[in-house]
Amino acid sequence: MTQTLIHPPKTMLEVWENLPEGTLCQLINNKLIMSPAPLDIHQVISGEIYFEISLFLRKNKIGEIRIAPYDVHLSEQNILQPDLLFIENKNLDKIQKTGLYGAPDLIIEILSPSTSKLDFKEKKSVYEKYGVQEYFIVDPDSKSVDSFFLKKGKYEVQKTITGKIHSKILGTKISF
């Protein structure tokens, strides 16, 4: 939706709200972060993981999955677009017309050359702060998965696994 601004934006949130629909932009710690479209391997891995989780959820009606670009509104300074996210049934009320308002239960980020540092530092910190229970970072080249589980408000790092996401929330292992 294109808008004509009558007054210049006063906050980063107002700038973000006035970007054209479909802009690959996140608001992280009150900074606009724009990214190029993901590489092909990123899309392949993202699609494989989405497909496997979707199949699992058809049989086990425990929640819903979303795939990027999808806005996750954690605060006025943090609106992110994780690659994949899962919301348990008990939290489906967080879903609104313009995205998710509050922390999803699980997030999966797939590394890109331009986002690696962002995924491991800034995003990890924001997800931890706002209570994302499980956070997985997938390297599409090696298929290694770094797993983080929230315990007493802090992420605990789990052993790196190759080609599998072992989710406690889903109660299953997702192979890709």
Q: Per-residue pLDDT tens for 7-45?
A: 777 888 888 888 888 788 899 999 999 988 899 999 999
- Other CB atoms within a 10 A radius of the CB of residue 147 amount to 21
pLDDT of residue 3 exceeding 70, the answer is no
pTM of the predicted protein model: 0.91
pLDDT of residue 1 exceeding 70, the answer is no
Among candidate residues 53, 65, 77, 67, the one with its CA nearest the CA of residue 165: 53
Q: Is residue 122 part of a domain?
A: yes
**52 vs 115, residue with greater confidence:** 52
**129 vs 4, residue with greater confidence:** 129
For 143-147, what is the mean pLDDT? Answer: 97
Given this model, what pLDDT does residue 118 score?
92
Q: What is the distance, to the nearest Å, from the Cα of residue 58 to the centroid of all Cα atoms in its chain?
A: 21
For 70-77, what is the mean pLDDT? Answer: 97
Q: Is residue 26 part of a domain?
A: no
Q: Is residue 29 part of a domain?
A: no
Given this model, what pLDDT does residue 10 score?
82
Q: Is residue 64 part of a domain?
A: yes
pLDDT of residue 5 exceeding 60, the answer is no
- Other CB atoms within a 10 A radius of the CB of residue 41 amount to 13
Q: Is residue 31 part of a domain?
A: no
Q: Is residue 7 part of a domain?
A: no
Given this model, what pLDDT does residue 110 score?
97
Instruction: Look at the chain and report how many structural domains it folds into.
Output: 1
The CATH number assigned to the domain holding 63 equals: 3.90.1570.10
Q: Is residue 119 part of a domain?
A: yes
Chain-wide mean pLDDT for the chain?
93
Domain boundaries, position 60: 37-175
Q: Is residue 9 part of a domain?
A: no
Per DSSP, the residues of the chain read -----SS---SHHHHHHTSPTT--EEEETTEEEE-PPPPHHHHHHHHHHHHHHHHHHHHS-SEEEEESS--EEEETTEEE--SEEEEEGGGGGGEETTEEES--SEEEEE--TTTHHHIIIIIHHHHHHTT-SEEEEE-TTT-EEEEEEEETTEEEE---EESEEEETTTTEEEE-
